[in-house]
C-alpha cells in the first residue's frame, strides 16, 4: 500500500510553496471522493490558500524590504573591498603606496564600523566618506586604484537611498498577516489531510485513492527535486565550513578588518574556496583594542548562515 511521500516544505521558496499547495488543491478537485474524506479540513485549507495568494500578490507588488537588504549588502561589500584594498596596500614595497594607504586607513578608522551602523547612520557616514574620497583623498584613491570601488559604492548608496525612501512611503500599506505564519498553518492542515487520506487507504483502499496518491507523489518528487538540491548551502554548519586561522593583527588604534580564507565541503564533494564579496561578507566585533576580536562570516548568493571565529590583536 503506497503512502503519500513527504514534501520538504522548508526548501520551498514562497512562489513554489504556493504552487505546490495550489497543485494539491487542483488534484482534490479532480478526485472528489478523496476530497470528501478531508472535507472538514478542506475549508480551512482553501481559506489559507486564498490568503497565501493575497500575501504573495502583495509581496510581488513590493519586494522593497528584500531589495533594501540586498542594497545594504552591496554597500557593505563595497566598503569591505575598499578596506581590504587599503590593508593590502599597506604591505606594499612602494613607499608612496604605503603612505597613501595609511592616510586612507586613518580616515576610514574615524568612521568606526560603518557596516554595523543603523541604516540612517550608515548612509550618512558613507555619504561623508564618498565626499572625502572624491575630493580630499582623490589622489590616494588613484594611487591605490580604488576608482572602480568608489564608483560602485556611489551607485550602491544611491540605490539604497532610493529604496529606503520608497519603502518608507509604502510601510502603511503592508498586509497585517505574515506570510511565514500562513505558510506554517497551511503545512499543518496539509499534513492533517495527508494523514486522513493515508489512513483511509489503509482501512478501505480504492482505485481512486491509489490514483490520487500516485499523482500527488509525482508532484512531491518534482518539487523536492527542483527545490531541495538548489537550497542555499549553510556555512554555519561546522563540518561544512572551514575558516583558516587569522594571523595575529597589529594594534593600530583603529578598527582591524582582516579578510579570512574560508572553504566549503559537503558530502564527499570537492572542497570549494569561498570568495569574499561573492560567497560571503564579514562583520567584526571588539576589533579595535588589544585582545581577542570576533569575525563573523555571513553567507551570500548560494550560501546562507553565519560562522564566527576569533583572532588576536597585539601591540
One digit per residue, the tens of pLDDT, for the chain of length 315 reads 689 999 988 878 888 899 999 999 999 999 999 999 999 999 999 999 999 988 887 765 455 666 777 888 889 899 989 989 999 998 989 999 999 999 999 998 888 878 767 777 888 889 999 999 999 999 999 999 999 999 999 999 998 888 877 766 655 555 556 888 999 999 999 999 999 999 999 999 999 999 999 999 999 988 887 665 555 688 888 788 999 999 999 999 899 999 999 999 876 677 888 988 888 899 999 999 999 999 999 988 778 889 999 999 998
Select from 172, 201, 218 the last residue of a domain. Answer: 172
Do residue 132 and residue 268 come from a single domain? Answer: no
Which domain, by its residues, includes 19?
Answer: 9-62+174-228
Do residue 113 and residue 148 come from a single domain? Answer: yes
Do residue 46 and residue 191 come from a single domain? Answer: yes
Beta-strand pair 262-264/280-285: unpaired
In a domain, 279, yes or no: yes
What CA–CA distance (Å, rounded) separates 124 from 155?
15
In a domain, 239, yes or no: yes
Do residue 149 and residue 182 come from a single domain? Answer: no
In a domain, 1, yes or no: no
In a domain, 4, yes or no: no
Confidence at residue 137, expressed as pLDDT on a 0 to 100 scale: 93
In a domain, 2, yes or no: no
Do residue 192 and residue 256 come from a single domain? Answer: no
DSSP 241-291: EEEPPPPPEEP-SS-------EEE--TTPPPEEPPBTTTEEEEEES-SSSE
Torsion of CA 151, 156, 162, 166, to 10 degrees: 170
In a domain, 98, yes or no: yes
Do residue 213 and residue 255 come from a single domain? Answer: no
State which H helix or E strand residue 148 sits in: helix 147-170
Domain count of the fold of the chain = 3
Amino acid at each position: 500500500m503506497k503512502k503519500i511521500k513527504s514534501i520538504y516544505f522548508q526548501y520551498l521558496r514562497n512562489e513554489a510553496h504556493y504552487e505546490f499547495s495550489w497543485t494539491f488543491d487542483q488534484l482534490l478537485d479532480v478526485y472528489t471522493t478523496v476530497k470528501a474524506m478531508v472535507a472538514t479540513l478542506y475549508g480551512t485549507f482553501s481559506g489559507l490558500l486564498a490568503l497565501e495568494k493575497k500575501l504573495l500578490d502583495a509581496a510581488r507588488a513590493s519586494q522593497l524590504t528584500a531589495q533594501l537588504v540586498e542594497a545594504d549588502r552591496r554597500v557593505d561589500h563595497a566598503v569591505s573591498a575598499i578596506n581590504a584594498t587599503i590593508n593590502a596596500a599597506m604591505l606594499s614595497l612602494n613607499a608612496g603606496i604605503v603612505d597613501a594607504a595609511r592616510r586612507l586607513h586613518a580616515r576610514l578608522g574615524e568612521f568606526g564600523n560603518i557596516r554595523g551602523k543603523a541604516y540612517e547612520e550608515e548612509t550618512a557616514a558613507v555619504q561623508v566618506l564618498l565626499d572625502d574620497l572624491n575630493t580630499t583623498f582623490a589622489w590616494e584613491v588613484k594611487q591605490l586604484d580604488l576608482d572602480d570601488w568608489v564608483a560602485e559604492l556611489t551607485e550602491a548608496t544611491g540605490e539604497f537611498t532610493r529604496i529606503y525612501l520608497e519603502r518608507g512611503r509604502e510601510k502603511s500599506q503592508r498586509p497585517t498577516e505574515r506570510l511565514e505564519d500562513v505558510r506554517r498553518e497551511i503545512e499543518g492542515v496539509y499534513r492533517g489531510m495527508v494523514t486522513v487520506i493515508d489512513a483511509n487507504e489503509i482501512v478501505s483502499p480504492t482505485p481512486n485513492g491509489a490514483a490520487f496518491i500516485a499523482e500527488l507523489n509525482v508532484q512531491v518528487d518534482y518539487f523536492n527535486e527542483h527545490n531541495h538540491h538548489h537550497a542555499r548551502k549553510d556555512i554555519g554548519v561546522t563540518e561544512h565550513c572551514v575558516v583558516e586561522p587569522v594571523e595575529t593583527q597589529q594594534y593600530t588604534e583603529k578598527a582591524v578588518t582582516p579578510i579570512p580564507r574560508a572553504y566549503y565541503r559537503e558530502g564527499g564533494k570537492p572542497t570549494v574556496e569561498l570568495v569574499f564579496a561573492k560567497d560571503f561578507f564579514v562583520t567584526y566585533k571588539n576589533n579595535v583594542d588589544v585582545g581577542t576580536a570576533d569575525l563573523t562570516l555571513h553567507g551570500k548568493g548560494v550560501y546562507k548562515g553565519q560562522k564566527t571565529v576569533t583572532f588576536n590583536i597585539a601591540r
